[in-house]
Structure 1
Amino acid sequence: MKGFPALKDVTVNKCDEYYKREAQAPKGSLPANTREGSPYPPTLTPYSLVSSVNPPKAVVSLDPPWYRLLEKDNVSLKCLPEGYSTQWWHNGSLISSQSSSYFIKSARVNDSGEYQCQTSSTLRSDPVQLEVHIGWVLLQAVRQVFLKGETIELRCHAWKSKPLHKVSYFQDGRSKKFTHDNAIFHIPKATGQHNGSYFCRGLIGNRNESSGSLNIYIQDLEGPSITPGDLHWHQVTLCLMTGLLFAVDTGLYFLMQRNLRSLMEDWKINKLKWSQSFQLQTTPHAIG
C-alpha cells in the first residue's frame, strides 16, 4: 500500500534505533525499555511480573483438619502455596521453623493460639486458631463459624484416639444423632436452625464420658462476617452482662432485705405500743 513503509523496514529501523540508544547509554544503566520516558514497551521478566502484581496471601491448613485437639494429639500445619524461606508465627512470635510444614507432636495446652505463615512470594496469612484441651472426650469441628448452605462435620474424639462406641450427638440438649461406631455427625446444608450449643457422649470401654460444649454459628451470606475475635468479645460481653446483672440483683436483694428488716422492726414497735395502750384501757383503774 502506497504511502506506508514496509513492516520489515519499520522493524529494522526501530531495532537499529534501540541498539544505538543502548550503545550511547552510560555503563551500568538500566536497559532503554525500562528507563523512564522510553518509547519502547518494557520487557516482562518473572521478577517484573511478580513485583507488578500484589502477591497472594498465604493460607494455613491443618492436617487433620480439626482446630480443636486433645493433649497428646498430633497435627501438621501447612503453608500454602508452598515456597522458599517460610516463616511461622505463634501468637505473634516468630517460630524458628522455616519449613513449609510445621508439625506439632504430642500437643500440649501451651500450643494453643493463633498461627500464621508467610513465604518469599506471599503475604502473611490470616491467623488460624488452634485449641488444645484436657479431657477424655472432645467434640471436634473444622471451624466454629459456617456460611448458610455449607457442610458441617462434627467428630467425637477420645483422648489418645481410644475407641469410642454408642456415641450420641446433642444440639442444645436434644439428641440429634446416635451411632454405634462413632461416625461423624454430618449436616449437609447449614441453616439458621443449626445455630446452637453442641456436645457428644460415648463409651470408652465401660466409661460413659461426655465432651464439653461447642457453640456453632451460622452466618448469613449477606450479613456481616463473624470472626473469632468477634466471638471472643461476644463471650466477654456476655460474661460482663451476667456479672453486672448478678451485682445488680445482689444489691437489690440486700436492699430489699434491709428494708424488710426495717419494716419488721417498725411493725414490732407499733405492735408493742398498741398492746401497751390496750392494757392501760382495760385495767380497773382506767375503767373506774
Structure 2
Amino acid sequence: MWQLLPSTALLLLVSAGTQADLPKAVVLLDPQWDRVLKDDHVTLKCQGDYAPGDNSTRWWLNGTLIPNHASSYLITDAKVEDSGDYKCQTGLSTLSDPVKLKVYVGWLLLQAPRWVVQEGEPIQLKCHSWKKTTVQKVQFFQNGQGKQFSYQNSDFYIPEAKLEHSGSYFCRGIIGSKNESSEAVNITVQVDTGLYFSMKRDLRNSKQDWRNGKVTWTQGPQGK
C-alpha cells in the first residue's frame, strides 16, 4: 500500500500524524515589558523548531498575517496601532499562545514582567518615562499609599510577594517642572495552589487522626 503512494502523499500523512506531537512556539518580548510608550523600541522573538532548509516564521497580529518571515519582529517606533495580540509559528511547531502588547501615550508608564505572581516570588516594577526623559522625585503607590520615594530611582522591588502586596499600583515623578503620574495597574499575588492543597490535605488527615483517636504522644526528656 505504501509503495502505491507518491512521496508527497507520504509526507502529508507523516505530517498529519506528527502534528499533535509538535512543540508549541513561544513569543518573547525584548525588553520584557508588555506595556510600552509611544516611540519605544520593541522586539518580538519567536522560539520554535525549524525544518531543514526552512527558517521562515509566520507572524499574526490580532489574527491577521503579518508580512514578516524572520524569527524576530522589530517595532522601531511603537504606535498605538501596534497594540494587540501577537502569535507566531515555525515549520516544526504549532501556533503559539498570544502575547498581548499595549502601546500607551503619556509621560509615565508603570511596567512589570508579570502582573500575576505567586506568593514568595519577587515583584519588579519600573516607572518608565517617554523617550527615557529624566524623572526626579519618583514615588510608588499601592492602593493610594506611598511605598517608596527616591530622587531618581525608577525601580521598585519586592523580593518576596505576600498576599497583602496585591492591589492597585501607580508611580509619580517630576519631569521638568510638571508633576506627572502613570495610570494605575492591578497586581495580583496568588497562593501556590500545589502548596495550598498539600497543606489542606495534611490538615484534613490530622483532623481525621484526631477523630479516630490516632494521636501519638512523645515523652519529653523531663519525663524519662
Q: TM-score range by the shorter chain?
A: 0.7 to 0.9
Distance of aligned partners of 1:52 and 1:136 in 2 relative to their CA distance in 1, 3 Å threshold: closer
The residue matched to 2:160 in structure 1 has which SS? coil
The residue matched to 2:189 in structure 1 has which SS? strand
Pick from 150, 158, 175: which aligns with 2:129?
158
2:37 paired with 1:66: no
Asked whether the 8 Å contact 1:82–1:100 carries over to 2, the reply is no
Pick from 151, 166, 171: which aligns with 1:200?
171
The residue matched to 1:198 in structure 2 has which SS? strand
Residues of 2 paired with 1:208 and 1:121: CA distance? 51
The residue aligned with 2:70 is 99
Percent identity among equivalent residues? 50
Asked whether the 8 Å contact 1:144–1:215 carries over to 2, the reply is yes
Residues of 2 paired with 1:107 and 1:27: CA distance? 53
Pick from 146, 151, 155: which aligns with 1:175?
146
Residues of 1 paired with 2:73 and 2:184: CA distance? 29
Matches within 5 A, 1:133-144: 133-144=104-115
TM-score (norm 1): 0.58
Asked whether the 8 Å contact 2:79–2:103 carries over to 1, the reply is yes
Matches within 5 A, 1:115-154: 115-154=86-125
Residues of 1 paired with 2:136 and 2:81: CA distance? 30
The residue aligned with 1:21 is none
The residue matched to 2:21 in structure 1 has which SS? coil
TM-score (norm 2): 0.74
Residues of 2 paired with 1:169 and 1:149: CA distance? 21
The residue matched to 2:193 in structure 1 has which SS? coil
Asked whether the 8 Å contact 2:128–2:154 carries over to 1, the reply is no
Residues of 2 paired with 1:93 and 1:133: CA distance? 22
Larger radius of gyration: 1
User: Which runs of no fewer than 5 residues in structure 2 stay unpaired?
Assistant: 6-13, 195-224
Distance of aligned partners of 1:28 and 1:65 in 2 relative to their CA distance in 1, 3 Å threshold: same
Asked whether the 8 Å contact 2:34–2:113 carries over to 1, the reply is yes
Residue-by-residue CA offset, 1:57-103 (whole Å, 9 max, x unaligned): 11111111111011111100001136422111111111111110001
Matches within 5 A, 1:251-262: none
Asked whether the 8 Å contact 2:59–2:86 carries over to 1, the reply is yes
User: Which runs of no fewer than 5 residues in structure 1 stay unpaired?
Assistant: 1-25, 31-46, 224-288
| Greater relative contact order structure (CA < 8 Å, 6+ sep) | 2
2:177 paired with 1:210: no
Distance of aligned partners of 1:187 and 1:220 in 2 relative to their CA distance in 1, 3 Å threshold: same
Instruction: Tell me how far 1:176 sits from its aligned partner.
Output: 0.8
Residues of 1 paired with 2:19 and 2:116: CA distance? 35
The residue aligned with 2:24 is 57
Distance of aligned partners of 1:175 and 1:63 in 2 relative to their CA distance in 1, 3 Å threshold: same
Instruction: Tell me how far 1:28 sits from its aligned partner.
Output: 4.9
The residue matched to 1:166 in structure 2 has which SS? strand
Residues of 1 paired with 2:89 and 2:121: CA distance? 28
Instruction: Tell me how far 1:151 sits from its aligned partner.
Output: 1.6
The residue aligned with 1:79 is 46
Matches within 5 A, 1:207-246: 207-222=178-193
2:29 counterpart letter in structure 1: L
Residues of 1 paired with 2:19 and 2:183: CA distance? 50
Larger fraction in helix: 1
Larger fraction in strand: 2
